[in-house]
Amino acid sequence: MTTQRPMQVGMVGLGRMGANLVRRLMRDGHRCVGYARTESTVQQLAGEGMVGATSLADLVAKLDRPRAVWLMVPTATVQSTLDQLIPLLDPDDVVIDGGNSYYRDDLVRAEQLAAYQIRYVDCGTSGGVWGLERGYCLMIGGEQEAVALLHPIFKSIAPGRGSAAPTPSRLRDGSAPEGYLHCGPSGTGHFVKMVHNGVEYGMMAAIGEGLSIIRHANVGKTARMPTSTTSTSPRSQRSGGAARSSDRGWWTSPPTRWPAHPSWRTSPGGCRTPVRVAGPCRPRSMRACPLR
């Protein structure tokens, strides 16, 4: 597909998700300017059609007004990035925080930027390393005018209609069938994303507990339980059935069905679960990983 309203977007942070957001936007006809602290990352995407920037000031200078600057940086660096960015921006510019910031921080940041007449949008982004092909589900918070300005960007990033069957009892108008939703004022986007994460992690933990019960039940005691991840093992057969009946999709199904992906690695924080969206585990993080 190609958007009917191409826009220019500045992307700060070109990690796994940031880079794929840029690729998905460019694929749909948008123009992207990107900046990351790692020069090789910028150069790689520049070779794919992105305009590279050497600094935040360079990125802002290469964007047309009113600017749309999307932050895809670790939660711990959002505020410091904003503090550097604010003096470079002009009134009516829009800053989108696409990470996993705490929703109460969004309230403070929206007020901080409003003092400079800069608009702030918080956007929970779900899709992980598969978002480039599948699309990213977006949960958006902010003023109606700012969100409306960004609709072409959101529509290009989201999965689009037909990617999943709509819930029969719900209305099919608006942007929700496209895979993105304006949830309300500042903070609501990241609040809904927080709830989304809780549901997903709860399901993953429940599946893990179920598999543990199966593994330790008095089944197959005459022979050692196979450790193969193929469909011939009893555990894989059971988890495969669970995945087919799950409304969360195969990426929340048990590890026996997870495909290998080159971006997964063991976390230096000690967690042996795949490192996907949030990056390496941090033992002192407020969010405890249910799979550790």
Q: Which residues are known to be catalytic?
A: 193, 200
DSSP for the chain, written as a single string = ---SS--EEEEE--SHHHHHHHHHHHHTT-EEEEE-S-HHHHHHHHTTTPEE-SSHHHHHHTSPSSPEEEE-S-GGGHHHHHHHHGGG--TT-EEEE-S---HHHHHHHHHHHHTTT-EEEEEEEE-GGGHHHH--EEEEES-HHHHHHTHHHHHHHS--TTSSPPPTTS---SSGGGTEEEEESTTHHHHHHHHHHHHHHHHHHHHHHHHHHHHHSSSSTTSPPP---STTSHHHHHHHHHHHH-TT-GGGS-GGGPPP-TT----TTS--S---SS-S--TT-SS--TT-
